[in-house]
Structure 1
Amino acid sequence: MGSDQSLVSTLMAKLSATFRIRDLGVPGFFLGIETVHLDGSMLLSQKRYMTDILKRAGRTDYKLLATPIPVSRPVVESTDLYADPTRYRSLAVALQYLTVTRHDLSYAINLLCQHMHTPTVAHWAQLKRVLRYVKGTLHYGLRLRKSSNTDIHAFSDPD
């Protein structure tokens, strides 16, 4: 996949000299990620995958929220353990895969995954909050556009 078909063909020829490969054509749906072509760009969407997560959670009628974590008041901590930690883990891991195209969820889902061993009732409430946010943002995705800029930027946090 690329914007210059001659470069793509050259790369495919070089790869096929060493590996057994085949051209699958324009990407459509792969590993739960759908590609939608929009006016010179591509949107990577996990809408179907998000809908499946909401069905697995047993709730598709969540009231929508504007943010995945509270911004005005702190989360109330609880020491009461959640009754079904396996369900919590399953949904938290499923949500973690969404961060491939939904970087806005990274922080909230990272917080959820820090409590996989002993999730509490408060952690379950936070997970449900993230699901409510996801329900309201099913149309979000990662948009890729052609750029004339070839600079590579890297960021590092040594802490």
Structure 2
Amino acid sequence: MLLSQQRYLKDILKRAGMLDCKPVTTPISPTKAVSGPEVPYADPTQYRSLAAHAFTTTSDWVALKRVLRYVNGTLNLGLHISLFACLDIHAYSDTDWAGDPDDRKSTSGFAVCLGNNLISWVCRKQHTVARSSIDAEYKGMADVSPEVT
């Protein structure tokens, strides 16, 4: 079975007027820094609506447009769910210590699989500044542990 949000994503692109935009392969530019001066969008109400639907928290219209171009290039992707005899739970976690150059907060992410099927994943900035890489890793592990208990 393939779970897909193609119709939902096309609706978001249509509201943004970007159905025929040129797709990109990454949601953020691999060569440009994320921090820096922001370019405000002319219609804040439409921007907030699109940003909420695109699951992004940035207030930079250029960055949001890039995310939407990435969405356009990944419309045919989905989550493949298959029957699998093994029902073992596997959790994977990783952390980028002090990865945000503006506030030095770390970013944590995890993925939880049941057999071969991905059932949960998260990637988010940690709420507090970690004093060391091991501190950041412990906080990341604390985020994933409720998912598997």
Give the Cα separation in 1 of the matches to 2:92 and 2:38.
37
Query: What is the CA deviation profile of residues 78-132 of structure 1, one whole-angstrom value per residue up to 9, with x for unaligned ones?
Result: 2453332211110111122xxxxxxxxxxxxxxx31x4xxx2xxx1111100111
> How many aligned positions are there?
96
Give the deviation of 1:141 after TM superposition.
0.6
Mind listing any 5+ residue stretches in structure 2 that lack a counterpart?
Answer: 94-139, 144-149
- Could you tell me which runs of 5 or more consecutive residues in structure 1 were left unpaired when the two chains were aligned: 1-41, 97-111
Read off the aligned partner of 2:46 and give its amino acid letter.
R
Higher relative CO (CA 8 A, sep ≥ 6), structure 1 or 2? Answer: 1
Aligned to 1:145: 82
Which 4+ runs in 1 deviate beyond 4 A? none
Q: 2:23 matched to 1:64? A: yes
Q: TM-score, normalised by structure 1?
A: 0.54
RMSD: 2.1
The structure where strand makes up a greater share of residues is: 2
Q: Secondary structure at the match of 1:59?
A: coil
Larger gyration radius, structure 1 or structure 2: 1
Change (3 A) 1:151 1:74: same
Match of 1:81 in 2: 40
Using the alignment, how far apart are the partners of 2:91 and 2:73 within structure 1? 32
**What CA deviation, in whole Å up to 9, does each residue of 1:23-79 have, x standing for no partner?**
xxxxxxxxxxxxxxxxxxx00011111111110001212111111111123236224
